[in-house]
Homo-oligomer: A and B are copies of this chain.
Amino acid sequence: MVDRYATFANSAAGKALVTRLGLPAPTPLRRYSPGDPLVTGPVLVDAAPGGRLGPAVRAILDEAGVPLRDPVAAAVEAGASATPGRLAALIFDATGVTSSERLRTLYDFFHAHARTLLPSGRVIVLGTAPEDCAAPREAVAQRALEGLVRTIGKEFGRGSTAQLVYAAPDAPLESTLRFLLSGRSAYVSGQVVRVGPAVGPAAASSVDWEHPLTGKVALVTGAARGIGAAIARVLARDGARVIALDVPAAGEPLAALANEIRGEALQLDVTAADAPARLAAYLRDRHGRVDVVVHNAGITRDRTLGRMSAAEWDSVLDVNLSSQERINDAILDLLPPGGRLIQVSSMNGIAGNRGQANYATSKAGVIGLVQVLAPALAARGVTVNAVAPGFIETPMTARMPVALREVSRRLNSLSQGGLPVDVAETIAWFASPGSSGVTGNVVRVCGQSLIGA
């Protein structure tokens, strides 16, 4: 599935027409292909005085072979020249900001370098989670970073993204920095991510970043089509043995997909009374465990509340939420330390949406699931996170009325819809053995949509 408008608007003829009509010409986003370098140019790392993360960040980038720009030279260049050397990413360690007055260091940095980013550039601000700050003034300043980063996401343009990463002192950061710098996070922007100390076994220092999931067993529900198929493909690409699950009616595309990714096809209706027991038995008998569980199966039955039938309410709640709770009860014991439980929520579960009372309720419940299970499973070494997709180009969105679809595509900082692979890459980041400190997060994959709550 491609964004046809973006493709058209960036063709030679399209560009001319789009410019003439004053329509937005979204920047083609840099997306990941195996073998790609993390970034497309040099990265500038700077810090507020007293920051604690600079050395760790530089070590990670060094080891990843990322070219670093010297902050002093870059500042001179930015001040002296109208066309300073372009940068692939700006990383600022704001952990030294202990008061609102000291936020000024971030202004100095981003004011100087606002215009230096290459297309699909990356902005990453590192901070301390307000709830982890001892001093009130520090907590306030750290919380203020959210407003800055979300504004940068809306200002910098040309396919660039901006994120705020709140990192605990001993947080394993490498998988998160790699994800956010790379083309894998193409459609993730304006997000606040918390990385804590490692839950379960710490990542081996020798993660194979091209195939981090080698040897892992991953279950993906709703895998036959759309976003689910993209998830299955990306997890398989990253080395996992994928069990692709879908309803019997989707048996044909499911088998084709399983074949393509050398995985297993499992036909099962997740809402069936015996589904949890059957699934648990399958996982136990075939693999003795499951390392990664991705609850992706979801349906919509859109109707305003006054017109919605009880069956439309029940089926959406059951597929999108209740069945996942029942399945978790049956299979969580099969997740070993280092296990990953991943949910698919939705922007509409955050903001609500006209005609989707059933869907928004179920997807808000999924956020509750993450909030409840992340602390509960941490002691067992299992992380729990969710993605919340925004407007993603799928057969479903392709059937939307054209005007609504065009507006929906444009209402975000990247002025385009996302692709199923963007959701899948975010899930693969959660799934990575390197992401042992990433738990309890709900990360929107929405191009920083305007829509929220």
* A interface with B by C-beta (< 8 Å): 99-101, 103-104, 106-108, 110-111, 114-115, 130-131, 136-137, 139-155, 190, 304-306, 308, 310, 313-314, 317-318, 321-322, 325, 348-365, 367-369, 371-373, 376, 450-453
Pick 21 A–B contacts, CB within 8 A, sort by A: A100-B321, A104-B317, A107-B305, A108-B310, A111-B310, A136-B373, A141-B368, A143-B365, A144-B364, A147-B348, A147-B364, A148-B364, A150-B351, A150-B352, A154-B354, A155-B304, A155-B354, A350-B452, A351-B450, A351-B452, A451-B451
Cα A104 to Cα B131 with chains together (Å)? 36
Indicate if the CB atoms of A140 and B352 lie closer than 8 Å.
no
Within the assembled complex, what's the spacing in Å between the Cα atoms of A373 and B136? 8
Q: In the complex the two chains form, is B107's CB within 8 Å of A154's CB?
A: no
Are A369 and B140 in touch, CB under 8 angstroms? yes
- Closest B residue to A192 by beta carbon equals B453
Main secondary structure of the interface of A (DSSP, over half): helix
- Which of B106, B352, B372 is in CB contact (< 8 Å) with A151? B352
In the bound complex, do residue B365 and residue A100 qualify as a contact, i.e. CB atoms below 8 Å apart? yes
Residues on B with beta carbons closer than 8 Å to the beta carbon of A154: 352-354
A63 to B447, CA, bound (A): 50
How many copies make up the complex? 2
When chains A and B are docked, how far (Å) is the Cα of A368 from the Cα of B357? 31
Task: Name the contact of A361 in the complex, choosing from B103, B357, B453 (C-beta under 8 A).
Answer: B103
* Residues of chain B with a CB closer than 8 A to A352's CB: 146-154, 190
Q: Most B CB atoms within 10 A — which of A139, A363, A365?
A: A365
Q: Is the CB of B361 within 8 A of A145?
A: yes
Would A150 and B360 count as touching, CB distance under 8 A? yes
Partner of A147, one of B143, B360, B373: B360
- The 6 A-B residue pairs with the shortest CB-CB distance, nearest first, are A452-B452, A150-B352, A143-B368, A147-B364, A144-B365, A147-B360
Contacts of A305 in B (CB 8 A): 107, 110-111, 114, 151-152, 155
A358 contacts which chain B residues (CB < 8 A)? 107
**Could you tell me if A365 and B452 are in contact, using CB atoms closer than 8 angstroms?**
no
Given A308-B107, A352-B190: A151 and B373 interface contact (C-beta under 8 Å): no
Most buried by B among A137, A308, A348, A352: A352
A371 touches B151 (CB 8 A): no
In the complex, the answer to whether A357 meets B107 with C-beta atoms within 8 Å is yes
Q: Indicate if the CB atoms of B452 and A151 lie closer than 8 Å.
A: no
* Contact status of A321 and B362, CB under 8 A, knowing A130-B372, A139-B371: no
Residues on B with beta carbons closer than 8 Å to the beta carbon of A114: 304-306
